[in-house]
Structure 1
Amino acid sequence: MTLTATRPAARAGRRQPAPPPRRGGTWARYALLAVMALLTLGPFIAMLIVALSPRGKPTVPARWPESLTFDNIAQVLNASGFGQWTLNSLIYSAVSVVIILLTSSMAGYAFAKKRFPGRDTILWTFLATMMVPFQAMLIPLYVLVSDFGGADTFWGLIVPTLANSQAVFLMRQFILGLPDELFDAAKVDGASELRVYWTIVVPLTKPILATLGVFVFLWHWNDFLWPLVISQSDATRTLTVGLTVLKTEELQWSTLMSSAAVSAVPCLLVFFLLQRYLVNSIAMTGLK
């Protein structure tokens, strides 16, 4: 009798399962996301249509062109200087990514897990440089690099952009979430600081390194102001600066849009190659 009487009370105390979401709300979200995606991709689609349109007939967004052609893209690829500009942009972006990832991960590890006098003061002083606009430092930086003979050189183009406080901050915040027991165990086993960095920090920070690598690549690939100031010839001129040189000439809109479309291909390739790591870094956010 007691068992039978207590069963209804036990059932009454159970939490009722949450009702399943209504399909109407789910489809509404998907529709909203689809509209936002179309609005985002609209300018890129218009760029491709103009790039593939016959010369002298940029009809977007007025109407769809009667025919599409790849002659404009072929003309851009065969243009004098375009190949050199693309190579310079690749060197500028790739070298900057490698050096920034190496230095920022080392600095992030030091600021997150090491204790030394003035650590917090140095960190916040370095982060305070983010509040200084680059335009305010442009002329002094150009004069300094020119005095050292860096004008119109690759090292003068690359070196001033390597001190990236945002990258250091992101790496520090990610490494703070790593368990201290891993580093303590490595010290007990007699591992050196370089071994700890290479065998613990680097493997565990691959998702944030990939994410940061994509961002740094895009920053440098699309960088315009500093390459415009420091580059004075096609030998060091990047693709973004070279496209402005093309704009000063009397070219068709289809040719300019073809140049922009070709310049976007490396960014898309980098994104798709590292997409898996980007998703992992988002999924690991907040995990210890």
Structure 2
Amino acid sequence: MSAITERREPFAARRAPRAVRVRKQLIHIPMILIGALTLFPFISMVVISLHPGVPVQVPEIFFNTDISLDAYRQALRSSNIPRWALNTTIYSVVSVVLVLLFASMAGYAFAKKRFLGREVIFWVFIAMLMIPYQLTIIPQYLLVGQIGGLDTMWGLILPTVANAQAMFLMRQFMQDIPDELIDAAKIDGAGELRVYWSVILPQTKPILATLGTFVFLWHWNDFLWPLVAQQSPENYVLTVGLNGLQAQNVSLATLMASAVVMFIPALLVFIFLQRYFVRGVMMSGIK
């Protein structure tokens, strides 16, 4: 009897891990299906852009091997798209630099400084996160118009500089920086600006990289504020310009090719800074 039990136990021990592996593989099936549904719009965009002049019929178009790059050539030869790409790059890059600069300064003040009304001012900033952006677009438009910023690049960038979420994340991160580092720098004779630049900023490189990724993607894909603030076609960003192409006599394949070209820089930024992006998501949830 004992011999039979000894022979059965190894078989059961081998069978249990196999059952666990099968269950884990079955769990991946719905995840793969959800991922395929998520990627379907992007795949369709690429496929349509590679088949100019071909009627869009699903699923026939996905199996059409007659591929052409004429839509991409037409999109890149357009005089407007390179201009819109330059405007989008300026809007995104300058906004990233200014948001990180002012958010880090404000985060340092709220995290390490003691001044009258600090908590009240901080929670007023936090309350701004609870107000839908669409509700503030009209007063923002009126204020920018009063100072002559409409249909200009600086008027497009200026309202995006004060980012409450970026300030909040910087403040939460800087609270973990030891006060002894700041005290040691001040004992050595460093002023406030030197402490901020030489002590605080080097300690915040992970959160700066994370926020830089977030802010770049936000501004690269921004549509509502550029649509409201820019009236001249030469001042459009890519999102607004591509939206305007729909009203013109532009083929669907060229429109999809333009959208793919617009998507590539954001994809490259995400690929190279993916670990910071994921860390930012985790940090936002933990903080």
Q: Which category of TM-score, normalised to the shorter sequence, fits these structures?
A: 0.7 to 0.9
Between the two proteins, the alignment pairs up a number of residues equal to: 270
Q: Where does residue 133 of structure 1 map in the other structure?
A: 132
Shift of 1:106: 1.2
Tell me which of 40, 43, 58 is aligned to 1:45: 43
Change (3 A) 1:26 1:180: farther
Counterpart in the other structure of 1:124: 123
Q: Answer whether contact 1:142 1:230 (CA < 8 A) is retained.
A: yes
> 3-state DSSP class of the match of 1:203?
helix
Q: What is the 5 A alignment of 1:1-288?
A: 22-64=20-62, 65-278=64-277
Shift of 1:144: 1.9
Q: TM-score, normalised by structure 1?
A: 0.85
Q: Deviations over 1:65-124 (max 9, x none)?
A: 241111101111111211101100110011000000111011111111111111111111
Point out the more displaced range, 153-162 or 57-66: 57-66
Deviation at 1:43, TM superposition (A): 1.5
Answer whether contact 2:99 2:166 (CA < 8 A) is retained.
Answer: yes
How many angstroms does 1:30 deviate by?
Answer: 4.0
Rounded to whole Å, the distance in 1 between the matches of 2:98 and 2:133 is 20
Sequence identity, in percent? 53
Is contact 2:213-2:276 (8 Å) kept?
no
Alignment deviations for residues 216-248 of structure 1 (CA, whole Å, 9 cap, x no partner): 111111111111111111332111111111000
**CA-to-aligned-CA distance 1:234-263 (integer Å, 9 cap, x gap):** 332111111111000132221111111111
Structure 2: which amino acid aligns with 1:55? G
CA offsets 1:131-175 (integer angstroms, 9 cap, x no match): 222222222222221221111111111101111101101111111
Contact map agreement 2:52 2:254 (CA 8 A) in 1: no
For residue 13 of structure 1, what is the aligned residue in structure 2?
none
Against the structure 1 CA distance between its residues 60 and 278, is the aligned structure 2 distance closer, same or farther, given a 3 Å change threshold? same
SS in 1 for 2:234: coil
* Shift in CA distance, 76/60, structure 1 to aligned 2, threshold 3 Å: farther
Give 3-state SS (helix, strand or coil) of 1:131's partner. coil
Code of the aligned partner of 1:222: N
The amino acid that maps onto 1:42 is F
Indicate how the Cα distance of structure 1 residues 25 and 111 shifts in structure 2: closer, same or farther if over 3 A, else same: farther
> Residues 220 and 284 from structure 1, CA distance in 2 versus in 1: closer, same or farther, beyond 3 angstroms?
closer
Q: Which structure is higher in helix share?
A: 2
Tell me which moved more, 178-187 or 278-287: 278-287
Change in 2 beyond 3 A, CA 1:27/1:242: same
Could you say if the C-alpha distance between residues 217 and 284 of structure 1 is closer, same or farther in structure 2, counting changes exceeding 3 Å? closer
After superposition, the CA RMSD in angstroms is 2.5
User: Within 1, Cα distance between the matches of 2:222 and 2:254?
Assistant: 21
CA 1:74/1:286 → structure 2, altered by over 3 Å: closer, same or farther?
closer
Which amino acid in 1 is paired with 2:105?
A: M
1:10 aligned residue: none
